[in-house]
Amino acid sequence: MSKDKIQEKKIRVLIGKVGLDGHDRGAKVIAAAFRDSGIEVIYTGLRQTPETIVEAALQEDVDAIGISILSGAHMTVFPKLKKLMEEKGLTDVLLFGGGIIPEQDKKELKTMGVGELFTPGTPTFETINYVKNWVLENKTGDIA
């Protein structure tokens, strides 16, 4: 499937903040960068639960879920999200994230099926390209 075909179908990404972490600047920056690149963004705002994130992703028919996490709860939040996604049949949706996540934890989360985890300072184009390429490689059957 060509990149032209992927651009005919708008990529839909849900960006969310789980838990009591009130630092949303990074989530807002990445949401704006995704929008500017032509990706459709659903931003859930602060203080969401894994359940509300997965339910919104299901209702919005997203291609990817991006979670911003700075609270240190990543080893709880990402596995819970992944489990709920599997239970709801969202096995073809990318779960990725960003925040303060130690390298060892990144490796462990990737073995659980979580996608890339970007740290502060990552250029936004790297995250955008990652999501676009993932959708191109994994969701081409959804493109007319």
In one-letter notation, the amino acid at residue 85 is M
pLDDT at 2 over 70: no
At residue 143, the pLDDT reads 46
pLDDT tens digits for range 113-134: 999 999 999 999 999 999 999 9
pLDDT confidence tier of residue 141, bands split at 50, 70 and 90: low
Is-contact 69 61, C-beta < 8 A?
A: no
pLDDT tens digits for range 43-99: 999 999 999 999 999 999 999 999 999 999 999 999 999 999 999 999 999 999 999
Give phi and psi for 67, each to the nearest 5.
Answer: -115, 125
Q: Does domain 3-142 have CATH number 3.30.565.10?
A: no
pLDDT at 3 over 60: no
pLDDT tens digits for range 29-40: 999 999 999 999
Q: How many CB atoms lie within 10 A of CB 34?
A: 24
At residue 6, the pLDDT reads 46
Report domain extents, the chain. Answer: 3-142
pLDDT at 9 over 80: no
